[in-house]
Structure 1
Amino acid sequence: MSFTYPEVGATRDGGPLPAGYHHGRVRERIGHGRAAFEAAVEGVVTFEVHRAFGLRVESSQPRAAAGVRVTSTLALGPLRLLHAPCEVVWALDEPARGGYAYGTLPGHPASGEEAFLAELDDHDDVWFTVTAFSRASAWYARLGGPLTRAAQDRALHRYVTVARRIAARASQA
């Protein structure tokens, strides 16, 4: 299976995102200290951030790494509202940065990429960045127009909120 967009990996360097897509980037301080950073990274690379967001996540491996397949499902009881197959395109595991990005595969209602990155700065502050570029590919996503884009923007902020909670639990331990 191949990606549904040609700009695979475009979220990696934090530079300009590709034209022709809706762009979103949220960066916020979520905690302080090595324990908060490590918890945030662990929450990201084990897909805990997504599960705590309310998604059902199935992955081909327990941790994000290039090539890992991830399918997120949003359901309301027995009704599946969203089925989103993706593949991890890059992953970072550095002393002060950790996270990954995944790109959309056929069957995803959008086409594009999302990156989730935790960073520990020189002052021991923990920052979390979610970066995305996408455009609707399924008819129902295109039909949603501005509502679909607004939902994605809201989701980016919600991921940050979840990462903040994960980092805070580590700080209190």
Structure 2
Amino acid sequence: MRRGTFRDETVDYAAVGATQAPDLMQFPPEGSIPAEQSWRLGSGEERFATATESLLTWTPLRGAGLSISNVHPAAGPGYTGVSYDADGTPVGPARREAEQRFDAEGTPYVSAGTSIHVSGRVDGYRADADLRVILAVEEPRRVAVALGTVGGSVVRGEELFLLEWRPNDEVWFTVRAFDTAVSALYRILPTLVRRRRTRLFERYLKAVSPLFAS
């Protein structure tokens, strides 16, 4: 299991980690607009492994048509935490993050504390921003990555990408997010925040799901 979390004051919002709350849609951070959607990707270990590789190599963002640059992993090895069983009992000692991995293009894999810059547009909606990986968890049947805004975006907030290989053998991909408008136009027209998020979710699904592959 690989696990990491990251906390510091460089993100530009207060509710760091709020996308992990299952009741985000009912109780979002004050002033924010929440969003959540889940899709079944298929079944089996192979489908889960393929989706995991896609998530950890930035495929949702790239597949959404966004460019990734200035990828800077956190300096030094990261603390991975302790493994727990279903009852919350520790089952393994804490350890250090494994050696940094790279994709075929030489870009570091997703890891907690990594900072990146994304740029581009999704169906006319601007998606330029500096982001920080605030959570990266890789478990045998669950992988989660959370990105928080650092600056430069029309909104501020967080999005969580979650992969689950469920006991019934189904593989599910969930994206959960909350956004608070930054630009004047988005503050005046909050429907733009919702539409932008909807378009991003659609692109993420197409990037990860074989059912929507072009």
Task: Identify whether the pair has TM-score above 0.5, normalized to the shorter chain.
Answer: yes
Q: Which is helix-richer, 1 or 2? A: 1
Stretch of structure 1 that moved more, 52-61 or 121-130: 52-61
**Structure 2 gap segments, 5+ residues each:** 1-8, 74-107
In the alignment, is residue 151 of structure 1 matched against residue 162 of structure 2? no
**Structure 1 gap segments, 5+ residues each:** 169-173
Counterpart CA distance in 2 for 1:150 and 1:26 is 14
Gap change, CA 1:158 and 1:46, over 3 Å in 2: same
Counterpart CA distance in 2 for 1:36 and 1:43 is 11
In the alignment, is residue 38 of structure 1 matched against residue 83 of structure 2? no
| Matched residue SS, 1:11 | helix
In the alignment, is residue 106 of structure 1 matched against residue 151 of structure 2? yes
Counterpart CA distance in 1 for 2:116 and 2:186 is 20
Query: Identity across aligned pairs (percent)?
Result: 32
Stretches of 4+ aligned residues off by more than 4 angstroms? none
1:73-130, Cα deviation, whole Å (9 max, x unpaired): 1159xxxx54211101111100001120010112222111001011100121100000
CA contact (8 A) 2:43 2:169 kept: yes
Alignment-derived partner of residue 60 in structure 1 = 72
Aligned alpha-carbon RMSD (Å): 2.5
Instruction: Report how many aligned residue pairs link the two structures.
Output: 166
Stretch of structure 1 that moved more, 61-70 or 2-11: 61-70
In the alignment, is residue 51 of structure 1 matched against residue 62 of structure 2? yes
TM, length-normalised to structure 2:
0.70
In structure 1, which of residues 133, 138, 143 is the aligned counterpart of residue 178 of structure 2? 133
Which amino acid counterpart does residue 160 of structure 2 have in structure 1?
A
TM, length-normalised to structure 1:
0.85
Which amino acid counterpart does residue 68 of structure 1 have in structure 2?
T
Using the TM superposition, give the Cα deviation of residue 13 of structure 1 relative to its aligned residue in structure 2, in angstroms.
4.0
CA contact (8 A) 1:5 1:111 kept: yes
Counterpart CA distance in 2 for 1:36 and 1:86 is 28
Query: Greater CA radius of gyration, 1 or 2?
Result: 2
Q: Which is strand-richer, 1 or 2? A: 1
Stretch of structure 1 that moved more, 142-151 or 84-93: 142-151
